[in-house]
Structure 1
Amino acid sequence: MNQKNNRLKPRTQHNADAAYYVLDYLAHSFPVQLYEPFTDSEGNLCSRPVTRDGQPVESREAVARRDRLIEKLASLPPVPGALDQIIQRFGTDMVAEVTGRSRRIVRKPGAGATADRLAVEGRAISANLAETQAFMDDFKRILIFSDAGGTGRSYHADLTARNQRLRVHYLLEPGWKADAAIQGLGRTNRTNQAQPPLFRPVATDVKAEKRFLSTIARRLDTLGAITRGQRQTGGQGLFRAEDNLESAYARDALRRLYLMIVGGKVEGCPLQTFETSTGLKLVDDTGIKDDLPPITTFLNRLLALTINLQNILFAHFEQILTARIEGAIASGTYDVGLETLRGEQFTVTDRQGIHTHPATGAETTLLTVAQRERNHPVTLDEALEHLVDPRAALLVNERSGRAAVCVPTTSVIDDDGVVERRVRLIRPMEATKVPVAMMGDTHWVETDRETFARIWDTEVAAVPEFTDSTVHIVSGLLLPIWKRLPNESTRVYRLQTDDGERIIGRKVSPAWAANAATTGAASLSADDAFVALTEGRTILELAEGLQLRRARVMGANRIELTGFTDTMRDRLKAYGLFGEIISWKFRLFVPTDASGAAVLTRLLERFPVERIAQREAA
C-alpha cells in the first residue's frame, strides 16, 4: 500500500487532478480498522477497535476491498470535461476555442498502425483573436467561448462576415450571474446580422439540475424588470414559466407537495424517507409545521438525493406546478407582464373618451380595434406525424362528425393529491386537454386512417385564410379609473396599427366596453356577444327572464340559455338552438361553431339584451 501512496504523491502538483483526490481520499479515509464484539456490564452487545501494542489492527478483508477499489478506479480512463470532449471529438481544425486557457489536451492522430494519442498543447495569448477570425471567415464551423470570450466580441451572422450561417447557440453552463449570461447571449445576437440565432439551453436528465436553470431564469427576469421595466427583456423568452422554480406558483406547488408527503400520497417517498434523506422536518408535535422549508432550501437539498428519489419528488412537483400555471392561464390571472398582440392587420375603428382628469386634462380612451389574423391549420401530414407515438389514436366525433388526433400529455395532481391522467385532442385549429376518465363520456371514437384523412382534409379546406375579430383597448391615463376596469385580468397589451400608431393599454371584454360606452340600455352586436360569451367572462340577461352564459358540459365549453319556459322550447329550437337531456333535465345551447353568431342574431332580435354582467371565466 505504501508503494501505491508513493505513486500518488507526485500527482499533487496537479490541483485539478480529480483522480488524485479520489484515490488519496480512499487511501487515507477508507475504514480498515478491525473491530471486535463484546458485551458491556448491562448485557448489551457492542463493538470496540482492536489494538496490539498500542497500535490499531487493520482488517485484512477491509484492506483488500480498499486496494481492489483503488485499482479499479485507477484503471478507469479519465472523464474529460465538455470543452475537451467537443475538441477531441471534432478536432481543432473544426473547433475554434475562445477561452482563458493557456494549455489544452488535444487528440493527435497516429501514424500508420499507431493509435491516436492525447497530448498537451500550449496556446498563445493571441490565440483567441485568431480563433474568432477563423470562425467568422468560415474556416471553422464550431465556436466555443467562455466568460473570457463573452465580452467585447461578436460571433453573430454579420452581413460583412463570410460566415452568415444560422448560429445554433447551446447554453451549456449559464452560471449564476444574470448580467454575465446576457453578455454571453448577446455575442451571437446583434445588429446588422443576416439572421438571428437559435438558442438551446442544455440540461441533463438529472432533475435537480433544473435548480441551476431556475436560478438564471429568475435572475434574467429580474434583470429585465430593473433595466427595461419589463421582465421578458431579460431572458428574451428563452425560458418558460415552468423553468422558474422560485415563483409564487412554484412556492404554492411546493407547499402542496409537502402536504402530499405528510399525507402519504407520494408513492416511493414516505415522510420518514423524505425527512431522513433531505434533513428537512415537515411535522412537529402539533402536526404539520407552520414554517415549512422554503423553495430554495428544498431545491438545494434535492441535489444531494439519489437520482431515483430526485425523479420521484420532482415528477410530483412538476405536475402540481403545471396544474397551477395552467389554471392561472385559463382563468386569465397569470401575470406574464407586457404582452404584444400580433396579427396581419390592426385598424382602429372607433375612439371614445371615457374619462378626463380634471386637473391635467389627460384622457382615458376606449379604442375599438379590428384585428385580422392569418390562420395556420394543422395539415393532414402534420396530424399523422403524431402516430409515431404508439399511444396516439385517430378519432372522429359521432355527433359532430369532426376529427381529432388523441395523443398523451402531461398529468396534473389535484388538491387531494390524486394524479389526473390527461390526453390532448389536436384539431385543425385548436388543441384541448381532456381527462382520460372523461373520454368515456364523450362521443369520440377511433376510426381508420382513410376516414380520418377525408374528414380532416374537409375541415382544413373549410378554414378561411384569415380570421377577423374585434378587440377593445382602454388606453391613455389608466390609474384614476383602474378600479373601474374589469378585475378578471390585469394584463397590459401593446400593438401597432397599420397606420404606425403604437397603442398600449388594458384589454377589456366587449361587454365591459358596451357598458362603458353607453349610459342607457346596453348595446351589443350579435358578433360581439358571441365572442364575449365564448370567452366566458360575460353573462347576458335577455328579455323575459332569459340568460346566456358559458357553461362547461362533458368536458367542452358551451353557450347555454337558461330561464326559458316549456312554451318557448319549440320557438327557441326553431331559431337554431339545440337541446340535450342531461341528468334528467332538458337544456338548450347555442352552437359554438360558425353558425353560432347567426343563431345568436335571431335570438337577440326576439329577446334583446337588457343587462350585461361580468364574471370570472367558467
Structure 2
Amino acid sequence: LIHQNLDDVLKETNVVDRMSGRSLNGQAKGAALSRFESAKQRFFGQLLIAMKLPTMLTAIQQDVAEARHAVVQLVTTAEAMLDRRLADLPADERAHLDIELSPREYLIDYLNSAFPTRMMRVFKGTDGENRSELMTDGDGRPVHSQFALQTRENLIERLCAMPAIPSALDELIRHFGTDGLAEVTGRTRRLIVDSQGRQQVERRTARSNIAEADAFMSGDKAVLAFSDAGGTGRSYHADRNCRSAHRRRVHYLLEPGWRASSAIQGLGRTNRTNQLTPPIFRPVTTNCRGERRFISTIARRLDSLGALTRGQRQTGGQNLFDPADNLESDYAKEALHQWYNLLYLGKLKSTTLDDFVEMTGLKLTEGQGGGLVSDLPPIQRWLNRLLALRIGTQDAIFEEYMALIQARIDAARDAGTLDVGVEAIKAERMVVLEEQILRRDPVTGAETKLSRLELHHRRRATPFKRLMDEWSDARDVAFLKNGKSGRVALRVPSWSILDNEGRSIQVWQLIRPVGSERIRQSALAESYWQEIGEESFRQAWDQECADIAARVDIETINIATGLLLPVWNRLPDDDVRVWRISDEQGNSLLGRIVSPAGFEKLAQSFGITMAIALSPAELIAGARGYDGVAIPSLPGTRLQRVHVNGEARLEVKDFPPARREWLKSLGCFTEIIAYKTRLFVPTNHAEDILSAIGRPGDALRIA
C-alpha cells in the first residue's frame, strides 16, 4: 500500500518527473526510499517472528511437559516502542492502560517522520536538465503538498485499522506468565497483565536479570528468554552444580539478528563445560520464502566470521546453513542475473515482467519496450522488494530462483570448486606412506609437504528401519536395484533445478547405505537402476549393510599440507577444497587433496621430479580430468577418458608406435578412426593392464 502510493506522491511533489519518471532530486528520492526500505525490513522481520510463535509455543509446552528446559534467543524487546507509547499518553490515560505494541508502528513512524510531503520547485540546471529543490513561501516556511498530506493520513488510518501483531517477548510473557518465564534482557520496564486482566507497567532493576537467571537455573522457572543485552557473561546450560542439571536444555534461535558474532555467542550460552547433557539447538524458521532475506545475511556473516577467526568457514556457522542459504554469494548473483533475463524473455511461470515491475516498483527496462537496463537492481534490493509480495507469489518466484542457484552450486560441487570451507574425512586409521617437501619458507622455516596417506575406513551403514522411519511418509519413493552392480538405493524426491533457458529439470536423490547422491531424471532413465519390491529391497539392503560392517576399506590419497597460503595459486586448481583428515588415534592433517591429474602441474610448479608413484586405480581416476594423466612408465603418453560412438573409453594418447605390438600383447586394442590408429585400454581390465605397463618385462594374457 505504501509503496504504490509513494510513487504517486514522489511525482506529485516534483521529486520525480511526472511524464518521464526521471528523478529530479536524487537526494530527496533516495532519502524517502531508503527510510521506507529500512522500516519495511524491520516490520517484516518482526512479522515473520510473530508467524513462528504459535508453533514454537506449542513445542516449548511439549518440552516442559517432558521435563526439559526451554531457552529462547531473540534480539528485539520492543522497549523503545513502549517508551514512545507511554510518552505520548496523557496523564489521565496512564491509570487505565490499553496499549498494543505491534511492529506496524515501524511503518506509522515512517509515515509521520519521513514520508515525502514537501513540495519541490522545478528549475533548469546549468546543463539544461530539469532539477528540483525545496519550495518555501514568501515567509520562508516550507510548502507541503495537500495531496501528499491526505495520502499519508489515509495510509495511517488504513494501517492502524489492521489487527495488531504481538511482539515475541511480550507474547511469551503473556502465554507463560511472569511466574513461568524468566526474562533476561536489557529493558528497564515491561508491560504485563495482572490477575484482573488489566495492563500494568512493571519496572525492572539491574538485579532483575540475576534473579531471573537464578530462578531458571534452580528449576523454579522452566522457560527463559534472553536478548543480546541480557546474555552477556551468563550461562544457562545444564551445569552439574545447579538444581536443574537433570533437565536438558532446548535452545530456540528465534531471532538471530544481524550480528553474526552475537548470534554465535548466544548459542554458546547453553553449551558450556561441566554440563550434564548437551543442548538441543532448534533454529526457528517459517516456510515463507521471503525470510531467506534474513537467513541469507546471517549465513553470509557467519561464513565471514568463521573465515576470519580460524580460517575455517564451518567455525562460524557450525553447519547450521547450507551454501544455498547465502543469497549474496557469487552463485546467487549469477542466478539473479539469469532470472532477470528469463523474466524479460517471458520464460518464467511465477510472474510476468509487467506484473513484477508493478508489484515491486523496480526499474528493469529502458523505457517502453526497451531492453534490460545495464545496472539491474542488486540482490539486496530485489530481496527487500520481494518481502512485500503475497506469500504465494514469493514462493513461486523463489522456487524458480533457488532452482537457478542450485544448478550452479551442483555444477561447482561436481567440479570440486565449491567453497564450503573445510571438509572433514574421518578414518579409523591413517598411515603416512611417503612424504616429500615441496617448499621451505626462507624466513620461518615452515614447510609445505606432499604426503601420501593410506586411510582405513570402517563405514557405518544406515539400518533399514531408520531409513524407513525417515522416508516412509515421503511421496514418489521407489525401491531401486542396479542391474549391473547389484547394489540398492532408495529413490526420493529432491529439489529441481532450472537450466539457462528456464526449463525445469527433475532431480532425484538416491540414498545408499553409506551415502547419497543427486541424479537427474534423464540420467536415471538411461542407467541400470530398476524398481523392485520392498521385501526384496529390504533383504538386499540388510545384506549390503552386513557386508559393509564386516569390511575395512583402504583408500590411498595424496595431500598437500603445511604452509599452503604462499603456494596456494601454484597448487592444481581442479579441486580447491580444504580437507581435515583425522583418525581415532587423534592424528590430524589439514590440507588440499592433489588428484592424480594434478600431479603433473604440481611437479612443474615446484620444479621437482615426483617420487610418489601413482597406482593403476589413481591413473584411471586421473584420466577423468580434462587433459587426462601422464603414464609414468611411458614417457610422453597420457591416459585420457574419451567418448567414441557414444561409449566411454580409456585411450592412451601419443603412444610410441614402436611399442604398439607390446601394448597390444598386454591387452590393449587399436582402432583406426579418421585415418588415425588409436590405442585403447579395456575398461574391465584397465587396472591389470596399467599395472603390467608399469612392469616393462611382464606380459599379461587377457582371456
- Shorter-normalised TM range: 0.7 to 0.9
AA in 2 matched with 1:177: R
SS of match in other structure, 2:233: coil
Query: For residues 531 and 422 of structure 1, do their structure 2 counterparts lie closer, same or farther at Cα, with a shift above 3 Å needed?
Result: same
Equivalent in the alignment of 1:291: 375
Aligned mates of 2:425, 2:439 — CA distance in 1: 25
SS of match in other structure, 2:395: helix
Q: CA deviation at 1:493?
A: 3.2
Q: CA deviation at 1:420?
A: 0.3
Contact 1:170 1:200 (8 Å CA) reproduced:
yes
AA in 1 matched with 2:546: A
Equivalent in the alignment of 2:69: none
Q: CA deviation at 1:103?
A: 3.3
1:471 pairs, out of 557, 569, 576, with 557
Aligned mates of 1:232, 1:392 — CA distance in 2: 32
Q: CA deviation at 1:177?
A: 2.4
Aligned mates of 2:576, 2:286 — CA distance in 1: 37
Q: CA deviation at 1:473?
A: 2.1
SS of match in other structure, 2:462: coil
Q: CA deviation at 1:119?
A: 5.8
Question: After the TM superposition, which residues 74-473 of structure 1 pair with which residues of structure 2 at under 5 Å, given as runs?
Answer: 80-99=166-185, 100=187, 102-105=189-192, 108=195, 120=200, 122=202, 124-125=204-205, 126-164=207-245, 165-284=247-366, 287-356=371-440, 363-385=447-469, 386-463=471-548, 464-473=550-559
Aligned mates of 1:415, 1:207 — CA distance in 2: 22
User: 1:289-348 deviations in whole A, cap 9, x for unaligned?
Assistant: 221111111111111222222112111111111111121111111112344443333332
AA in 2 matched with 1:288: L
Aligned mates of 1:522, 1:427 — CA distance in 2: 34
Greater CA drift, 363-372 or 92-101? 92-101
Aligned mates of 1:505, 1:294 — CA distance in 2: 36
Aligned mates of 1:323, 1:439 — CA distance in 2: 17
User: 1:104-128 deviations in whole A, cap 9, x for unaligned?
Assistant: 43585xxxxxxx9576473653332
Aligned mates of 1:81, 1:486 — CA distance in 2: 53
Q: CA deviation at 1:443?
A: 3.1
Aligned mates of 2:103, 2:361 — CA distance in 1: 30
Aligned mates of 1:21, 1:486 — CA distance in 2: 56
Aligned mates of 2:517, 2:627 — CA distance in 1: 19
Greater CA drift, 157-166 or 147-156? 157-166
AA in 2 matched with 1:421: Q
Aligned mates of 2:333, 2:175 — CA distance in 1: 42
SS of match in other structure, 1:288: coil
Greater CA drift, 316-325 or 87-96? 87-96
Aligned mates of 1:414, 1:522 — CA distance in 2: 42
Query: For residues 84 and 16 of structure 1, do their structure 2 counterparts lie closer, same or farther at Cα, with a shift above 3 Å needed?
Result: closer
SS of match in other structure, 1:283: coil
> Are 1:590 and 2:686 counterparts?
no
Equivalent in the alignment of 2:34: none
SS of match in other structure, 2:426: coil
Q: CA deviation at 1:232?
A: 3.1
User: 1:206-257 deviations in whole A, cap 9, x for unaligned?
Assistant: 2112211212222232333344444333333322212211111111111111
Aligned mates of 1:288, 1:20 — CA distance in 2: 35
AA in 1 matched with 2:436: Q
Aligned mates of 2:516, 2:695 — CA distance in 1: 32
If the length of structure 2 is used for normalisation, what is the TM-score? Answer: 0.65
Q: CA deviation at 1:88?
A: 4.0
Larger RCO, structures 1/2 (Cα 8 Å, 6+ apart): 2
Q: CA deviation at 1:536?
A: 8.8
Equivalent in the alignment of 1:614: none
Contact 2:427 2:584 (8 Å CA) reproduced:
no
Contact 1:348 1:497 (8 Å CA) reproduced:
no
Contact 1:230 1:338 (8 Å CA) reproduced:
yes
Aligned mates of 1:234, 1:16 — CA distance in 2: 38
Query: For residues 367 and 167 of structure 1, do their structure 2 counterparts lie closer, same or farther at Cα, with a shift above 3 Å needed?
Result: same
Contact 1:88 1:107 (8 Å CA) reproduced:
no
Query: For residues 523 and 343 of structure 1, do their structure 2 counterparts lie closer, same or farther at Cα, with a shift above 3 Å needed?
Result: closer
Q: CA deviation at 1:79?
A: 5.0
Greater CA drift, 533-542 or 371-380? 533-542
Q: CA deviation at 1:575?
A: 7.6
Q: CA deviation at 1:549?
A: 4.6
Greater CA drift, 126-135 or 85-94? 85-94
AA in 2 matched with 1:590: T
Query: For residues 160 and 604 of structure 1, do their structure 2 counterparts lie closer, same or farther at Cα, with a shift above 3 Å needed?
Result: same
Contact 2:426 2:583 (8 Å CA) reproduced:
no
AA in 2 matched with 1:441: E
Aligned mates of 1:533, 1:376 — CA distance in 2: 30
AA in 2 matched with 1:122: E
> What number of residue pairs does the alignment pair up?
531
Question: After the TM superposition, which residues 478-497 of structure 1 pair with which residues of structure 2 at under 5 Å, given as runs?
Answer: 478=564, 481-495=567-581
Aligned mates of 1:427, 1:483 — CA distance in 2: 36
SS of match in other structure, 2:522: helix
Q: CA deviation at 1:202?
A: 1.5
AA in 1 matched with 2:234: R
Q: CA deviation at 1:267?
A: 0.8
Aligned mates of 2:412, 2:248 — CA distance in 1: 36
Query: For residues 276 and 601 of structure 1, do their structure 2 counterparts lie closer, same or farther at Cα, with a shift above 3 Å needed?
Result: same
1:603 pairs, out of 689, 699, 702, with 689
User: 1:554-604 deviations in whole A, cap 9, x for unaligned?
Assistant: 99xx97423699xx9xx9999899xxxxxxxxx98636xxxxxxx444222
CA RMSD of aligned residues (A): 4.3
Contact 1:136 1:163 (8 Å CA) reproduced:
yes
User: 1:264-304 deviations in whole A, cap 9, x for unaligned?
Assistant: 11113111111111111222155222211111111111112
Q: CA deviation at 1:530?
A: 5.2
Equivalent in the alignment of 2:140: none
AA in 2 matched with 1:562: E
AA in 2 matched with 1:293: P
More strand by share: 1
AA in 2 matched with 1:435: R
Greater CA drift, 474-483 or 280-289? 474-483
If the length of structure 1 is used for normalisation, what is the TM-score? Answer: 0.74
Aligned mates of 2:103, 2:421 — CA distance in 1: 49
> Are 1:526 and 2:616 counterparts?
yes
SS of match in other structure, 2:388: coil
SS of match in other structure, 1:168: strand
Aligned mates of 1:447, 1:554 — CA distance in 2: 32
Q: CA deviation at 1:176?
A: 1.9
Contact 1:169 1:198 (8 Å CA) reproduced:
yes
Unaligned runs of 5+ in 1: 1-7, 29-65, 109-115, 578-586, 592-598, 611-618
AA in 2 matched with 1:607: I
Greater CA drift, 206-215 or 191-200? 191-200
1:508 pairs, out of 581, 584, 594, with 594
Contact 1:355 1:363 (8 Å CA) reproduced:
yes
Equivalent in the alignment of 1:111: none
Q: CA deviation at 1:526?
A: 2.9
Aligned mates of 2:645, 2:459 — CA distance in 1: 27
SS of match in other structure, 2:472: helix
Equivalent in the alignment of 1:47: none
Aligned sequence identity (%): 40
AA in 2 matched with 1:311: D
